[in-house]
Amino acid sequence: MGIFTNPSSPSFTRALHIKDRFLQSFDSLKQLKHVHSQLIRIGLDQENYLLNLLLRSSFDFKDTHYTRLVFHQTHEPNVFLWNTMVRGLVSIDCFKDAIASYASMRREGFSPTGFTFPFVLKACARLLDFRLGLKLHSQVVKLGFSCDVFVNTSLVSLYAKCGYIEDALKVFDDIPNKNVVSCTAIITGLAKCGNMERARLLFDEMGEKDIVSWSTMIQGYASNGLPKQALELFHNMLDHGLKPDCYAMVGALSACARLGALELGEWASSLMNIDEFSINPVLGTALIDMYAKCGSMTKAYDVFKGIRAKDRVVWNAEISGLAMNGHIPAAFAVFGQMQKYGIPPDGNTFVGLLCGCTHAGLVNEGRQYFNIMVRILSLAPTIEHYGCMVDLLSRAGLLDEAHQLIKSMPMEANAVVWGSLLGGCRLHRDTQLAEHVLKKLVELEPWNAGNYVQLSNIYSASHKWDDAENVRSLMGERGMTKLRGCSWIEVCGIVHEFLVGDTSHPLSEGIYSKLSELDKDLRAAGYVPTTEYVLFDIEDEEKEHFLGCHSEKLAVAFGLISTGPAEVIRVVKNLRVCGDCHEAIKLISKITGREIIVRDTNRFHCFSGGTCSCKDYW
């Protein structure tokens, strides 16, 4: 029996006093230890209720040494103390220790309670240990917790995190009293495996929605490449009178980043106290990334400067942003700063740096960074690093060396790597190697129509008519639908979408008359439309007249007629920018004196005064 059962005991008031002290927070471990010493002095240091509060507070300081000391000095730990131990270890990310602690608890003969399982299952989920999960699940059943909604929600989350969505669904379906949390757990799992339709059905069926469920859906759309749906839901959430939390904000910002929707992104960020972005590095990173992907590095840098506790991810986002926007010396300088501040770089840091080298064609610098990473820092290069190196070498025309590197890689090359080599083939007009690469790409991405189109174009150009025809019929057999080129432009906070040859826009007439006006100007400037790009074109479209109707041209023309003369025109395209359009947009930037930024699947093209920041390589 504990001290609180006997109010007449002389220690009762002192125990109450100490209990109240535990309900406040502690500024330092020293303060906590002081209260511990008081417990010992007044002889209450074996009072399990108070010890449990002490143990719980001790985890705030992430000092497992002291935590263990408290626990081991307890003569007769009860199940509350064991649960607190497991929970605390999970809360400080010591998942293996948490599981070990659970094992000790069982060895000591304690039977887990309904509270124990959520903690230990969470540890298991974070370790992605499916086998242990199965064992725990059978204990859950054996000990009679199969109807506990808390325990089952943890199981759903565990299976979903490990990628076993069917098992997760099975557990979920059998939960008798589902609630908003268990629904959110399964929605997370469905979103993770890309099944947003089913996730949405469940979401719409949920009676009660809270900020977590909204945020989960928004984030699910954003990370599954459905940014418009993400933003639509974000608006819905606001209409329901909910204020975005940092999770919803990160989802909305990443959707804006994908769409290149700068104004929307700034509007979204204005819904949150601006200080939050300086205090929370996750939020800050999302905002940097949004600005970077919208081509606005000046603003990204302001955010970056303001973030108080810059972790490695913050630094990486800034470096990558600068690199992808072509500010290479600045990217190198920020890397220098990062080292000065003693933040050790990781693999992602080097992806950013190598991407910068590729952008600027700095072959030697790229080789140096690769060596620093591998030889000095002993970081194992991933396929992304090889992709950057292949890109770098290919761009410089070192196609053989790039091809050799692919063959010598410790892993199988993926489509990105082969795609980089193909870029080099395109730039340096090597159709033979391109044919080889495209065959690989068709194998690796049988669903990607662009590869078939390019391969067939190359066959046609080298008069291999039969091969060309075979590729075409293969496309037909596989029921391929060509991915239609699609571009977005945001004007006054509204995202306008254009498809190839689109005439559905309300201002379509104005857009096309602007295009024919530009056509005259371009011809007067001596521009001759080129057909050689057709060879490597991924959009299989008739080019019956110059300045045809590729989506990026439509979007640019719309930008010209609907924005002020000093505004930057920002277009985002879902495919690589077409070569012909690229030439045309360069000249449009010269004739109109406008700055035009086109982000395609590979990189930024900043057109200004008749040239492009990509130096005609993409």
Partner DNA sequence: ATAGGGTTAG
Residues 330-349 that bind DNA (CB under 7 A): 346, 348
Q: Which residue lies nearer to DNA by CB, 216 or 394?
A: 216
- In the complex, the smallest distance separating the C-beta of residue 419 from DNA, rounded to whole angstroms, is 18
Residue-wise burial string across 365-390, b where 16 or more C-beta atoms lie within 10 A, e elsewhere: bbeebbeebeeeeebebeebbbbbbb
Q: Which residue lies nearer to DNA by CB, 79 or 427?
A: 79
Among 173, 174, 210, 509, binds DNA (CB under 7 A): 210
- Note the Cα 212 to chain centre separation in Å: 18
Check if the beta carbon of residue 562 is closer than 8 Å to that of residue 507: yes
Degrees, nearest 5: CA angle 362-297-341: 75
Q: Is 325 in the site for DNA (CB under 7 A)?
A: no
Q: Which residue lies nearer to DNA by CB, 149 or 442?
A: 149
Question: What one-character DSSP code corresponds to residue 376?
Answer: I
Q: Is 39 in the site for DNA (CB under 7 A)?
A: no
Dist CA 230 CA 252 (whole Å): 7
Residue 152 is encoded by which pair of tokens?
């089952």
Stretch that binds DNA, among 212-220, 482-490, 556-564, 604-612 (CB under 7 A): 212-220
**What residues from 256 to 285 belong to the interface with DNA (CB under 7 A)?**
257, 281-283, 285
Q: Which residue lies nearer to DNA by CB, 113 or 195?
A: 113
Q: Which residue lies nearer to DNA by CB, 100 or 149?
A: 149
Q: Which residue lies nearer to DNA by CB, 108 or 544?
A: 108
Q: Is 179 in the site for DNA (CB under 7 A)?
A: yes
Among 232, 245, 401, 521, binds DNA (CB under 7 A): 245
- In the complex, the smallest distance separating the C-beta of residue 82 from DNA, rounded to whole angstroms, is 8
Phi, psi values for residue 483, rounded to 5°? -70, 120
Scan for tokens 């990310």, then name that residue.
Answer: 93
- In the complex, the smallest distance separating the C-beta of residue 280 from DNA, rounded to whole angstroms, is 7
Residue-wise burial string across 97-118, b where 16 or more C-beta atoms lie within 10 A, e elsewhere: bbbebbeebeeeebebeebbbb
Among 130, 247, 512, 533, binds DNA (CB under 7 A): 247
Residue-wise burial string across 201-212, b where 16 or more C-beta atoms lie within 10 A, e elsewhere: ebbeebeebeeb
Among 36, 44, 45, 52, binds DNA (CB under 7 A): 52
Dist CA 421 CA 390 (whole Å): 6
CB within 8 Å of 40: residues ≥ 6 apart: none
Residue 14 is encoded by which pair of tokens?
């002192």
**What residues from 99 to 138 belong to the interface with DNA (CB under 7 A)?**
113-115, 117-119, 122, 125
**What residues from 283 to 312 belong to the interface with DNA (CB under 7 A)?**
283, 285-286, 289, 311-312
**What residues from 568 to 587 belong to the interface with DNA (CB under 7 A)?**
none
Dist CA 191 CA 174 (whole Å): 20
Among 57, 67, 101, 153, binds DNA (CB under 7 A): 153
Sheet with 486-491, side-by-side order of all strands: 494-499, 486-491, 569-573, 596-599, 604-608, 611-612
- In the complex, the smallest distance separating the C-beta of residue 547 from DNA, rounded to whole angstroms, is 34
Among 182, 296, 487, 551, binds DNA (CB under 7 A): 182
**What residues from 347 to 366 belong to the interface with DNA (CB under 7 A)?**
348, 351-352
**What residues from 490 to 549 belong to the interface with DNA (CB under 7 A)?**
none
